[in-house]
Structure 1
Amino acid sequence: MIRGIRGATTVSENSADEILNKTEMLLKEMVEENRVEPSDIASILITVTDEIDAVFPAKALRRLVGFTFVPVTCAREIPVPNSLSHCIRVMMTVNTNLAPHEIKHIYQERAIDLRPDLRLTNSTEL
């Protein structure tokens, strides 16, 4: 079954190092929490807000073992007034046996407030 896994994080500054480090951390957690292998991934779409342009966040995949052939692209988020700034969002499309309610969507840094409903759905405390 093909499923989407969502993730988001924020950076405090528009620097290549921070963008790549935060993107790598996010991708690693998305993969680990959902037991995904690189060969399970159909594609990854990464979007960024207007403040982020020091580096393509997709470059972070090159740091991950086994991700050489994973298709990835970057795009700009819609500039909605008063939306979360300095935000990197990821949509990972994967082949998995997990049911939709079993998918663990990952939100880090200031992005944790984007979808509190998904964080609670995946909580082990429920």
Structure 2
Amino acid sequence: MVRAIRGAIQVEANEREAILAGTTELVSAVMERNQLTTDDVISVIFTATPDLTAEFPALAARKLGFHEVPLICASEIDVPGSMPRVVRLMAHVDIDRARQDIQHVYLRGAAALRVDIAQ
């Protein structure tokens, strides 16, 4: 069964290491909380707010072993007043779990984005 898992993290700065560290934390938490391996992951879409340009978030996933998983990065739309410095992901996974058993992950300041589903 294919399920989608959402997540986001607010990073400290538009710096390569901050983006990689934050994305690593986010991807690791999604994988751990949902008891996944990279073999379970079909694809991952990463987005970053327009103020994050120092690195591609997908590089962090590659460094975690997502070598054969299709990954793509895109820019979030620039909505006035929106939260700055946010990396988001939507992972498509192949797991036999009910939708309500999926653990969506919102970390640091990004937890305020989806208090309804954040774990």
Quote the offset at 1:36 in angstroms. 1.1
Which residue of 1 is the match for residue 27 of structure 2? 27
Structure 1 unpaired stretches of 5+: none
Q: Name which one, 1 or 2, has greater alpha-carbon Rg.
A: 1
Which residue of 1 is the match for residue 58 of structure 2? 58
Which residue of 2 is the match for residue 107 of structure 1? 106
Which residue of 2 is the match for residue 75 of structure 1? 74
Which residue of 1 is the match for residue 9 of structure 2? 9
Structure 1 SS opposite 2:116: helix
The alignment's TM-score, normalised by the length of structure 1, stands at 0.91
Structure 1 SS opposite 2:117: helix
CA distance in 2, matches of 1:31, 1:75: 21
CA distance in 1, matches of 2:48, 2:61: 16
Is residue 33 of structure 2 the alignment partner of residue 41 of structure 1?
no
Structure 2 SS opposite 1:117: coil
CA distance in 2, matches of 1:5, 1:75: 17
**Alignment length (residue pairs):** 119
Once the two structures are aligned, what percentage of the paired residues are identical?
A: 39
CA distance in 1, matches of 2:47, 2:64: 19
CA distance in 2, matches of 1:37, 1:97: 14
CA distance in 1, matches of 2:18, 2:111: 18
CA distance in 2, matches of 1:23, 1:69: 18
Instruction: Tell me which stretches of 4 or more aligned residues in structure 1 moved more than 4 Å.
Output: none
Q: Cα deviation per residue 1:23-65 (whole Å; 9 max; x = unaligned)?
A: 0110001001001110111100000001000010100012213
CA distance in 2, matches of 1:50, 1:9: 14
CA distance in 2, matches of 1:28, 1:76: 22
The alignment's TM-score, normalised by the length of structure 2, stands at 0.96
CA distance in 2, matches of 1:90, 1:102: 18
Is residue 94 of structure 2 the alignment partner of residue 95 of structure 1?
yes
Is residue 84 of structure 2 the alignment partner of residue 116 of structure 1?
no
